[in-house]
Structure 1
Amino acid sequence: MSKRQKVAKSSTRRQNRFVRWLIICLCAILILAGVVVGWEASEQKELEHVQVNYSDRPTVFVSGDYSNWLTFGPMNQRLQRYGLAQAVWTIHVAKNGHATIDKHRPLGHRNPLILVLFADNHNAKREAHQLTGVMHLLRQQEHIDSVNFVGHSSGCNIIYQYLTGPAANHRQRYPQTNKFINIATTFSKREQEAANRFPRATRVLNIAGNFANTGGDLGVSVHGDQQLGRLLQDRVKTYRSVTLNGGVSVIHYLLHQNPRVDRLIVEFLWGGRS
């Protein structure tokens, strides 16, 4: 084979690799676009025609390990986009526990949403202590006397530890907890032993994911998630548990982006109805 033929053959191979790479990229883009379109269609189906009851009681969102705005921020935006609630405040908690409230708008009377973001976001025990400070701030400085909570993964542990920790001894210093939504969480033995300190007047909704009938969401088992019911069912005002069966949308790290979860939250917190 001549040198010219070798060069031509090498060039052809490079062109073929480029074409294959281009096809793979285009297929990936089309698949991603299909997923996005399908997700948006599901979002519209679940939320577009829902009506809710409005109040001035804030709902506080706390997410889990290594989380940031992308965990619950998009959900807050979806609920606002469909007129179901308003994303009003973001509370940034520094590593030393100092809390700064970024007030995008006044609390108002249209189901205000408050997002709590921790700089030290991989230590539930420390975050629970910091959340205690945040809730004391909301009660004493902002005069908020009642809240709902929504948590995902270890974010629920943070909320649970706050509710059953030192704040349980002085509840008048903190907002009353009206409703608590637990998404995909298990609880340690120490947390289980503190269940009798959980506020009894609270209504609780537990949400679990069952990916492709595997018995869990690839992060938390359904059985483990339903542990909360065994802890609280006879200790709170009401308790309800829902398991969502499905594919990718019920994987642990996508449950908080699942429109069906949005709908469950809307129905439970604000009496959402079509």
Structure 2
Amino acid sequence: MKRKFYWWLGLILVVIIAVGGYFSLQNYQQNKVQTIEKVKVNNKVTPTFFFHGWGSSYHAEEKMTAAIRQAGVSNTVVRVNVSKNGHAKLLGKISKRAKNPLIEVNFADNKLTNAKGSYTNAYYTTGARYVRNAINVVNKKYGYRSINVVSHSMGNLEFTNYLRRFHNQKDFPRINHWVSMAGHYDGIVGEDDEPNVTKINSKTGKPSRMQPEYRALLSLRKTFPRETRILNIYGNLENGTNSDGDVTNASARSLKYLINGRAKSYRELMIRGRGGQHSALHNNAKVNRALVNFIWR
């Protein structure tokens, strides 16, 4: 009996160790920087701004900027903190020898709770102002006139409303490249969108139905910067929802209609499987590689 007891006890311990090791490996894989091969790029000095999503922070941008830096694209990463009253403060310095500086933007009001009314209004009145202040605090200090942008989730709505609201201002920069990730332009799953309901016209990108936040952006069809190249990245869990768990592919792809005939170029990239989950997109080797190839090569 004792021998049998110890045999079962040993088996249970082996199973526990194996399961624990598996989950530890999974956790390590999710949290390590998803590095990519080194690349050769031109020594440019155009800054790239990173805007995070709802309830998030600059920490969501750190693995992307680390992977880009390790690939040899940039040698400088700084941060801009934007307070709840909209005050932007630059942390760090960009030297004269800086190559492709990366700007991690952190919004203290990361749920736009300081704004009144609906989110449609909040994106325009508050989110757009946060974006403008973050860009201006860097551009005014270093004299930049051109920028690149990488935005994730709600950061896309804040950025597009920045384009909508401030496109005709004197301090509005030239936007060379914009990478949109998991943009919920025409609704969010569980709130005002559902999987496999909205259809997208393959030629124009026009959605079969339009939510209020999307209708508010229709003016971009006449004002979107013509010099901007766009890469639209979205995830598909391949579980039948055609979504990343939070944003349907249709909602993300509806961006095309807003810029169709205006942007200098537009392309899409679908990330399939577990790596295409909404929050996993900003720590994904395929995404990092796409960022580098699109913006700097």
3-state DSSP of counterpart to 1:178: strand
1:189 aligned to which of 214, 217, 228: 214
Determine the structure 2 residue equivalent to 1:8: none
Deviation at 1:238, TM superposition (A): 0.8
Gaps in structure 1 of 5+ consecutive residues: 1-11
Determine the structure 1 residue equivalent to 2:205: none
Deviation at 1:106, TM superposition (A): 2.3
- Root-mean-square deviation (CA), in Å? 2.7
Determine the structure 2 residue equivalent to 1:6: none
For residues 33 and 228 of structure 1, the distance between their equivalents in structure 2, rounded to whole angstroms, comes to 37
For residues 92 and 133 of structure 2, the distance between their equivalents in structure 1, rounded to whole angstroms, comes to 18
Contact 1:91/1:102 (8 A) holds in 2 = yes
Deviation at 1:139, TM superposition (A): 3.1
Deviation at 1:209, TM superposition (A): 0.8
3-state DSSP of counterpart to 1:267: helix
1:149 and 2:174 correspond = no
Determine the structure 1 residue equivalent to 2:293: 267
2:41 aligned to which of 52, 62, 67: 52
Contact 1:56/1:107 (8 A) holds in 2 = no
Contact 2:30/2:283 (8 A) holds in 1 = no
1:243 and 2:241 correspond = no
Which structure has the greater CA radius of gyration?
1
Distance 1:68 1:39, change over 3 A: closer
Q: What is the one-letter code of the residue matched to 1:176?
A: R
2:99 aligned to which of 84, 104, 110: 110
Q: Deviations over 1:105-144 (max 9, x none)?
A: 5264421100110110112622221221232333333311
Determine the structure 2 residue equivalent to 1:168: 167
Deviation at 1:104, TM superposition (A): 5.0
2:255 aligned to which of 228, 235, 245: 228
- Percent of residue pairs identical: 29
Contact 2:82/2:89 (8 A) holds in 1 = yes
Determine the structure 1 residue equivalent to 2:85: 96
For residues 128 and 15 of structure 2, the distance between their equivalents in structure 1, rounded to whole angstroms, comes to 49
Q: What is the one-letter code of the residue matched to 2:270?
A: T
1:198 and 2:224 correspond = yes
1:33 and 2:11 correspond = no
Distance 1:122 1:213, change over 3 A: same
For residues 189 and 34 of structure 1, the distance between their equivalents in structure 2, rounded to whole angstroms, comes to 37
Q: Deviations over 1:37-96 (max 9, x none)?
A: 5996x945xx22433233000000001101113211111112112322234210001111
Deviation at 1:228, TM superposition (A): 0.5
3-state DSSP of counterpart to 2:80: strand
Q: What is the one-letter code of the residue matched to 2:90?
A: I
Aligned positions of 1:1-40 closer than 5 A: 23-24=15-16, 27-33=19-25, 36=28
1:217 and 2:263 correspond = no
2:178 aligned to which of 173, 177, 180: 180
For residues 227 and 66 of structure 1, the distance between their equivalents in structure 2, rounded to whole angstroms, comes to 23
3-state DSSP of counterpart to 1:177: strand
Question: TM-score, length-normalised on structure 2?
Answer: 0.76
Contact 2:236/2:272 (8 A) holds in 1 = yes
Q: Deviations over 1:190-236 (max 9, x none)?
A: 43322122212111110111112531111111111110012212111
Instruction: Report how many aligned residue pairs link the two structures.
Output: 251
For residues 40 and 181 of structure 2, the distance between their equivalents in structure 1, rounded to whole angstroms, comes to 23
Task: Between 251-260 and 103-112, report the one with greater CA deviation.
Answer: 103-112
Distance 1:39 1:95, change over 3 A: closer
Distance 1:33 1:261, change over 3 A: same
3-state DSSP of counterpart to 1:136: helix
Q: Deviations over 1:135-163 (max 9, x none)?
A: 23333333111100000001111111111
Distance 1:169 1:51, change over 3 A: same
Q: What is the one-letter code of the residue matched to 1:32?
A: S
